[in-house]
Chain A
C-alpha cells in the first residue's frame, strides 16, 4: 500500500492578469522508503505540486481545482485544518531552498529545533533539547551544544541547511519533501547535504520527494523520477528507464542540453524557443511548439499520462499512439 497517493491534482492561481494553471492533472504514488525526484524548469509546477500537498498554497489567489492526495486514509486536500496540522511537520516534513528565509532570524536555533517536538509530542522541554542536540550531532554540525544557543545568521549556508534538515527530521516523519534543497549551495556543500539526506533516510526508513531542476542531482539520488513541464507531468519512470529508455522528447531534450562534465563535443544541443507563458498555455501538448517531433494532432489533442511500459508513464501523444522512438 503506497504511503502517498496523489491523483489528478490541479492547482490554479487566479491573478489580475488571468488564471495561471500552475499544476494540471498530476498523479503519482510514493512507496515507503522510496525516493521520488520531481524534475522541471521554472514554471513547471514542481514546487507548487508539493506546496499543494502540504496545504501551503495561499488560497486566494491560489485554488486547488481538483484531485486527491491520500496519506493513509486522509485526503490532505480535503481534510480539516486540525488534521492537516497533525500531519504537517510530524509525519510529512518539508525543507526549502533558501534556509536563511526559512529560519526565524529572531529565535535561537535550539528554540526552533524543539518547536516541532513541543507542538506535536507531549514532551518536556529539557527532553526536547536533548533530542535537538542529538539531532544536530546526527546532522554533522560541530560543537552542537554551543550552536544550540546561536542565531541563524551566525551559520553558513551549508550549516543552515543542515539545521533545516535537523528540524524537519526531528519528529521522524514518514515523508520528507525537499524543495531544491541544494540549489543555493556550492557544489561541494551540495554533495555533503545530499549525503546527509541519504544517510538520514536510511536510518529512519523514510520516503523522500526531491524537487530539483538538476537532472544530475536527481540521477544520483532517486529511485523514480517525474519530469514536469508547464504544470503537467511529461514522463514518470524508474531512474534507469528514464535515462536509458526515454519516452518523451522533453526529457530527451533536457538530457541533451544539460552541459555535463562527461559530455564531449563543442556545441550544446538546445531546446529552441522558451517555456510557455503560464497565462497563455497553448492547446494540446504544452511542449509541442518547441518539440522537434511534433505533428498536427500534438497541438490539438489533450494529453494524458499513460503507462506505455511496465512502471513507465508518458504523456507524449506520439509515443502513445505510434510508439515513436525518442
Chain B
C-alpha cells in the first residue's frame, strides 16, 4: 500500500495559521497580568516624565522654582505632593527627576548592552582559548569594587550626567557579556544551527539569520532587568552626592533630601521612595513576564 499521507491529515491548529514566535510571545505576555501592569506603569510614568522634561511648567511649577516664603508644606490643593524646605514643588521635581533617572537607566543600559553584547558574542563564537581568556578577564573585573571604581571615574573626570551613564554602563556590561556568551554557546550547539552548517550556508548567514534572532529574546529580557539595577545605582550615587547635582533632581537626590528631613517632613521621603519602588517593581515584573513569554522551547506539547 502506497504512502497515502499526501495531506497532513487533521491539521493541528487550523485557526492559528502562521503564528510566529513573536506573535506567540506577545500573546503570552498579554496573558500575564503582572507584566501588563508593569508595562502600563512604566509606560505611563515614562510618558509623564518625558513630557515634563519638555514642558517644565506642566504642573504649574518648574523643578527648580523656589518659593522660600512658602517653605515646606504637606500635600495640598496647590502643590499636590507638597513642597520641600526651599518651597520647590515636589511633584515637579519628582517628574523631572524621574525623567533623569529613567534616562540614566536607558542610556546606561544601552552602554552596557553595546559593550556586553559585542564582547559576549565574540567570546561565544570564538570558543576555545580566546573565550577562556575573555571570561577570566570578566572574572577579574567582577572582583573589583565597582563603587570605588565609579567614584574614581567621577572624581577624575568630573561630574556630568553623561559621564555617569558611561561609568555605570561600564560596570554593568559584565553580566550582559556573560549572558550573551552563554546564549551564543547554547544556540551554537542547537541542532538547527548544525543543520544550517550542513546545508553549506555561509557563515555570515548562519550568524545573522540563525543565531542572532535567537539571541534577541534573552537580551531583551536582561536589558529590561538591568534597568532597575541601573536606576538603583544612580540613586545610590546621587545619595552619596556623586551623581546628579542640585538644582537638578533625580530620584536619588530626592530620596537623599527626603531622608535628611524625614522626621519632620515625611512626605518628602515617602513619595519619591514609593514612586521609585513602584517603578523598579514594574520593570521587574515586565522583565519576568518577558522572560516567560520569550523563553518557550518551541514544541506545543
In the complex they form, whether A and B have CB atoms below 8 Å apart is answered with yes
Do the beta carbons of B5 and A270 come within 8 Å of each other?
yes
Interface residue A33 (Cβ < 8 Å from any Cβ of B): no
Interface residue A274 (Cβ < 8 Å from any Cβ of B): yes
Do the beta carbons of A272 and B9 come within 8 Å of each other?
yes
Interface residue B18 (Cβ < 8 Å from any Cβ of A): no
Q: What are the interface flags for A1-32 relative to B under an 8 Å C-beta threshold, 1 for contact and 0 otherwise?
A: 00000000000000010000000000000000
Interface residue A273 (Cβ < 8 Å from any Cβ of B): yes
Interface residue B144 (Cβ < 8 Å from any Cβ of A): no
B-facing residues in A263-295 (Cβ within 8 Å): 267, 269-270, 272-274, 276-277, 280, 282, 289-290
Interface residue B201 (Cβ < 8 Å from any Cβ of A): no
Docked pose: A276 CA to B3 CA in angstroms: 19
Identify the closest chain B residue to A257 (Cβ). Answer: B1
Do the beta carbons of A277 and B5 come within 8 Å of each other?
no
Q: What are the interface flags for B3-42 relative to A under an 8 Å C-beta threshold, 1 for contact and 0 otherwise?
A: 1110011101100000000000000000100000000000
Docked pose: A276 CA to B9 CA in angstroms: 9
Docked pose: A272 CA to B8 CA in angstroms: 9
Interface residue B155 (Cβ < 8 Å from any Cβ of A): no
Do the beta carbons of A290 and B9 come within 8 Å of each other?
yes
Do the beta carbons of A270 and B4 come within 8 Å of each other?
yes
Interface residue B2 (Cβ < 8 Å from any Cβ of A): yes
Do the beta carbons of B10 and A276 come within 8 Å of each other?
yes
> Which residues on B sit within 8 Å (CB–CB) of A277?
10, 12-13
Docked pose: A45 CA to B5 CA in angstroms: 24
Q: Could you say which of B1, B8, B10, B31 contacts A269, with CB atoms under 8 Å apart?
A: B1
Do the beta carbons of B5 and A273 come within 8 Å of each other?
yes
Do the beta carbons of B10 and A272 come within 8 Å of each other?
no
Identify the closest chain B residue to A278 (Cβ). Answer: B301
> Which residues on B sit within 8 Å (CB–CB) of A289?
9-10
> Which residues on A sit within 8 Å (CB–CB) of B9?
272-274, 289-290
Docked pose: A280 CA to B9 CA in angstroms: 14
Docked pose: A274 CA to B13 CA in angstroms: 13
Docked pose: A289 CA to B3 CA in angstroms: 16
> Which residues on B sit within 8 Å (CB–CB) of A282?
10
| B276 shortest CB reach to chain A, Å | 35
> Which residues on A sit within 8 Å (CB–CB) of B3?
267, 270, 272
Do the beta carbons of B1 and A267 come within 8 Å of each other?
yes
B-facing residues in A239-283 (Cβ within 8 Å): 267, 269-270, 272-274, 276-277, 280, 282
Do the beta carbons of A273 and B10 come within 8 Å of each other?
yes
Identify the closest chain A residue to B1 (Cβ). Answer: A269
| A55 shortest CB reach to chain B, Å | 23
Do the beta carbons of B1 and A274 come within 8 Å of each other?
no
Docked pose: A274 CA to B10 CA in angstroms: 7
> Which residues on B sit within 8 Å (CB–CB) of A274?
8-10
> Which residues on B sit within 8 Å (CB–CB) of A272?
3-5, 9
| B6 shortest CB reach to chain A, Å | 9
> Which residues on A sit within 8 Å (CB–CB) of B2?
267
| B181 shortest CB reach to chain A, Å | 27
> Which residues on B sit within 8 Å (CB–CB) of A273?
5, 9-10
Q: What are the interface flags for B231-264 relative to A under an 8 Å C-beta threshold, 1 for contact and 0 otherwise?
A: 0000000000000000000000000000000000
Identify the closest chain A residue to B11 (Cβ). Answer: A277
| B56 shortest CB reach to chain A, Å | 47
Docked pose: A289 CA to B8 CA in angstroms: 12
Identify the closest chain A residue to B9 (Cβ). Answer: A273
Docked pose: A20 CA to B13 CA in angstroms: 15
Identify the closest chain B residue to A42 (Cβ). Answer: B301
Identify the closest chain B residue to A292 (Cβ). Answer: B1
B-facing residues in A47-104 (Cβ within 8 Å): none
Docked pose: A70 CA to B193 CA in angstroms: 52
> Which residues on A sit within 8 Å (CB–CB) of B5?
270, 272-273
- 6 A-B residue pairs with Cβ-Cβ distance under 8 Å, sorted by A, are A16-B31, A267-B1, A270-B1, A270-B4, A272-B4, A277-B13
- Chain B interfacial positions (CB closer than 8 Å to A): 1-5, 8-10, 12-13, 31
